[in-house]
A and B are shown apart, each in its own frame.
Chain A
Amino acid sequence: MERLGSGIQAGRLSPDEYASNFSDLHPRLDKHEALVAADRCYFCYDAPCMTACPTAIDIPLFIRQISTGNPLGSAKTIFDQNILGGMCARVCPTETLCEQACVRNTAEDRPVEIGKLQRYATDIAMEMNRQFYHRAASTGRRVAVVGAGPAGLACAHRLSMHGHDVVIFDAHEKAGGLNEYGIATYKATENFAQREVEYITAIGGIEIRTRQMLGRDFTLTELTCNFDAVFLGMGLAGVNALGIEGEDLAGVEDAVDFIAALRQATYKAQVPIGRRVVVLGGGMTAIDAAIQAKLLGAEEVTICYRRGKENMNASGYEQDLATANGVIIRHWLAPKRIIGKDGHVAGMEVEYTAIRDGKLVGTGETGIIAADQVMKAIGQSFGGSGLGSLRMESGKIAADLEGRTSIDGVWAGGDCVGHGEDLTVSATAQGRDAAESINRAFAAAARPAVAVA
């Protein structure tokens, strides 16, 4: 083991260090902690936290159920709105969602710990494998769902509740989407993504077919012919390119690929990491990649972002988490050239930026940051194909607020559509709402048209 060895190496840390670095970020509340935290909720009327939740979980109610000793009732309240409530409790940026809206912020700058309470209740129910929902009598309708991420899973579960049969097609090895391949390791430990997939599909009527890729193995038209409806929850499979010199050097990697490999590695000690790592970008992915690079034992990790702190997509909390882990965040630096040596990354040339006449421009002043690994986290893009005439909008699938696309019988939701933030919880909400929309469409089609005199 070479803790500070140069280049990209695995095994920089001791087994204990790996174990502790990749353990649960927020250990779950025990019963006493949960009761103390729940006591702080005011049971607000028309609660602002609930309005801020993209899935509109009845937060005051589920917290009150915890405080009256009914965690299972609480879990049901959560799952009624959000069947991925367990994952959301772990990964939601609550500091910009429900907890930001909590009225306790106004009084004392410290919100009710909604996320942790949500995890408390959902963990209890999931560990008991307590199923709250049953399939309605089978309708004989069949729906194809493309993508087993949060959007697809939420959609499938709600469709199954209504008695429809669902087949989910996913290009990956495992179901879960970014819950399995993208979310930071320390946010969803102990194989939680897979356990959640099992918990959700336990309702029955949902078949998952992995390694099945739309555009390669089948087309959208085939799906619309063979199924009564189609839901597309394909996320963003593509990544944006930098388009600068040196991008193809060894040691240059997409942050999402790095994270996916890390998530799939059974032994974190086997994941190689540079001694000096530069991460390009300003969103959640950049933060997660940088923190995890640090946790793997990189000596120096620098995030370079083109604009100022206030422009970063990552929340203040996440930025703080990064700096607390020793990540250096530098602003107003644009990537100019990746410098190589013997075909391998040796440094990152950056140019200072500024806003001139409302536009971001390079100032001409440059500098070099020594690096043996560069990670790109400059955004993902829609990578779908085989979609025929499906209308796109700003590079994503065009859909209305119920998820209806330009093609009759085809719905879409999650990161692959334009509206809502790219978050697990937003994808869940859109999947659920699309299922309701599909169900309504089935019901309308089943009703004979009545002539109105």
Chain B
Amino acid sequence: MADIRNNFVGIKSPNPFWLASAPPTDKAYNVERAFKAGWGGVVWKTLGAEGPPVVNVNGPRYGAIWGADRRLLGLNNIELITDRDLYVNLREMKEVKKKWPDRAIVASIMVPCEEEAWKAILPLVEETEVDGIELNFGCPHGMSERGMGSAVGQVPEYIEMVVRWCKQYTRMPVITKLTPNITDIRFPARAAKRGGTDAVSLINTISSIVSVDLDNFSPVPSIDGRGSHGGYCGPAVKPIALNMVAEIARDPETYGLPISGIGGVTTWRDAAEFLALGAGNVQVCTAAMTYGFKIVQEMISGLSDWMDAKGHRTLDDICGRAVGNVTDWQYLNLNYVAKARIDQDLCIKCGRCHIACEDTSHQAITNVVDGVRHFEVMDDECVGCNLCVNVCPVENCITMEPLAAGELDQRTGKVVETTYANWTMHPNNPAAAPVAAE
């Protein structure tokens, strides 16, 4: 049986599935239910400075987009950090940690960008004996208007400064949570590293307006007829999060920096993909908010069954395995030729591949052959773009088949070469160098 125990910057948990700092980790009641369900760890809902806590809106704070059958694909929220008293949270964190010593508890913190504020809160958190801290530089709404959250996360110098204070005033591991609301994720990651962070976690939510109410023309969620942008999360953000994780994992300046992967993790498969792209563990919020804590059981069994099937023994066997395969476009092999193939036994003849290719791609799929409804790829037109694969409603019905070296590509009339050749070497590239740059 695969061993899925997790050691993330020295914080141990029975599995790599943590709940992200959010409503599921708001208080002892939820966190204990989560641990009972099997979650490996939690990042407690973000703590603010001592004093009167923030207030939340009293109307709707979520909005969503849905796929078929109203399956939730993306969630948007305008919630702030914890609206409970700091000391209540600290007391509960301490109690829960004592009761559940084998689970990870990390305190998420967001206080004003002043040294005194951080210096004041860190010993209080340390006293709870939780396993580490996460710096919330990510919240894109409300808190950012007050100079915190993503307002810090968008300025690399601030990130570096705050991380440095934290490393100075606490012995606990520091995880820096990054905002995706930035042009190039590598800059804040590098800043966190320079400040001495033990790890980064990402992504926090993406600034978003999820929809507009067409009766009163208010953004949704609507508070008394008006709305404000919120933070977007859930399955829809996974591709953005995966790319950002990979960017940090393969950046020479941050290479090897531990990453906690967050953003749209819903199934074991999503988690495995984050791990493969360099995450040391994953954090989950929306999936738990959609289906409840029980989903972790599917994640645990799915991950370990897949590892068993593939012969991976520990998480180290898979972490970062895909990082080396992420490259820049210019290094992709232009001598690789693939053609779409339709499995006629699986084809249900919906015609979607045809119309997608006909209207928007390369006119490479038939719809009628000898007077009969029939869908087949014309190799002399197919550029191998994969659009038909993506629009076909039947899984594996259309596959992309690479041509072997030596075979004739009927579209170009050229024989497929055995060698690798990329854009940097291509004759059409004015800046082409005679040899590959990689």
Q: Which residues of A contact B (CB under 8 A)?
A: 35-36, 39-40, 42-48, 103-104, 106-107
Contacts and interface: CB of A to CB of B under 8 A. Distances in A.
Contact of A39 (B68, B350, B354): B68
Contacts of A40: 68
B53 interface: no
A70 to B, nearest CB: 12
15 contacts: A39-B69, A42-B350, A42-B352, A43-B352, A45-B354, A46-B351, A47-B351, A48-B349, A48-B373, A103-B348, A103-B350, A106-B348, A106-B349, A107-B393, A107-B394
A107 B394 CA distance: 8
Given A45-B355, A46-B367, A48-B373, A103 B69 contact: no
Contacts of A45: 350-352, 354-355, 367
B237 to A, nearest CB: 23
Nearest to B358: A45
Contacts of A43: 352
Interface string B336-370: 00000000000011111011000000000001000
A104 B393 CA distance: 10
Contacts of B351: 44-47
Contact of B349 (A35, A36, A39, A103): A103
A47 B348 CA distance: 12
A39 B349 CA distance: 18
Contacts of A39: 68-69
B69 to A, nearest CB: 5
Given A104-B348, A106-B349, 18 more contacts: A39-B68, A40-B68, A42-B350, A42-B352, A42-B393, A44-B350, A45-B350, A45-B351, A45-B352, A45-B354, A45-B367, A46-B367, A48-B349, A48-B373, A103-B348, A103-B349, A103-B350, A107-B394
B69 A44 contact: no
Contacts of A104: 348
A45 B392 CA distance: 12
A295 to B, nearest CB: 36
Quick one: which of B348, B393, B394 has the most chain A CB within 10 A?
B348
Most buried by A among B69, B350, B351, B355: B350
Given A45-B367, A46-B367, A48-B373, A36 B69 contact: yes
Contacts of A103: 348-350
A36 B367 CA distance: 29
B374 to A, nearest CB: 12
B67 to A, nearest CB: 9
Between A35, A39, A104, the greatest number of chain B beta carbons within 10 A of the residue's beta carbon is seen for A39
A47 to B, nearest CB: 7
Nearest to A40: B68
A107 to B, nearest CB: 5
Contacts of B373: 46, 48
A227 B350 CA distance: 47
Contact of A44 (B68, B352, B394): B352
A107 B348 contact: yes
A42 B351 CA distance: 9
B393 to A, nearest CB: 5
Contacts of B355: 45
A45 B352 CA distance: 6
A46 B354 CA distance: 10
Interface string B26-46: 000000000000000000000
The 5 closest A-B pairs by CB, nearest first: A45-B351, A45-B355, A106-B348, A39-B68, A103-B348
B123 to A, nearest CB: 54
A35 B68 CA distance: 9
A247 to B, nearest CB: 49
Contacts of A48: 349, 373
B396 to A, nearest CB: 12
A48 B354 CA distance: 14
A104 B349 CA distance: 10
A35 B69 CA distance: 8
Q: Which of B69, B70, B351 has the most CB of A within 10 A?
A: B351
Contacts of B348: 103-104, 106-107
A35 B70 CA distance: 9
Of A45, A46, A48, chain B has the most CB atoms within 10 Å of the CB of A45
Interface string B357-389: 000000000010000010000000000000000
A232 B160 CA distance: 88
B50 to A, nearest CB: 48
A2 to B, nearest CB: 51
A40 B349 CA distance: 15
Nearest to B71: A39
A191 B124 CA distance: 76
A48 B393 CA distance: 16
